Amino acid sequence: MKNYKFRINGNQYEVELIEIDGNMAKIEVNGTVYDVEMQREIPKVKSVITSAQAQARTVKETKPAPEKASSGKASEVRAPLPGVIIQVLVRPGDEVKAGQTVCTLETMKMENAIKADNAGKVTTVSIAPGQSVLQDEVLIVIG
């Protein structure tokens, strides 16, 4: 498949990637074949951005939600994509309007303004700046 050359502690290694099946790989290192289990990459946590730096960056606005009255039942604001939380703009007890930006999520080197679908009172904030989140993870609950 692919060939690589590594120099580790002054020693030269020629590595050929033979096959990948899921998280298992078959590699040949200097003529010896190994079955290697690959682990998921651990995402790096980014440092918190000061407000002066945040103002200089471009923020991609998500489509505003249509105005809805609070129905009394809780709604969840979920991450549209995996990424890193840059800014949290609400706290438990805050009143929010439908379409109001509640946090900023960095995905694929772009900042996305995450907005509330419904008006209501914030009951739970499950995120903090610098935290990595997965797609569809609950970020904020509005009751």
11 contacts: CB under 8 Å, gap ≥ 6: none
Shared domain check, 57 and 125: yes
DSSP assignment letter at 57? S
- For 102-136, the pLDDT digits (tens) are 999 998 888 999 999 999 999 999 999 999 999 88
- For 34-87, the pLDDT digits (tens) are 888 877 665 655 555 555 444 555 555 555 554 444 455 788 999 998 999 999
- For 2-12, the pLDDT digits (tens) are 888 878 888 88
- For 54-68, the pLDDT digits (tens) are 455 555 555 555 444
* pLDDT given for residue 14 in this prediction: 86
Shared domain check, 56 and 32: no
* pLDDT given for residue 44 in this prediction: 59
Give the domain extent around 137: 51-142
Q: Is residue 42 part of a domain?
A: no
| DSSP one-letter string for 66-132 | PP----SS-EEEE-SSSEEEEEE---TT-EE-TT-EEEEEEETTEEEEEE-SS-EEEEEE---TT-E
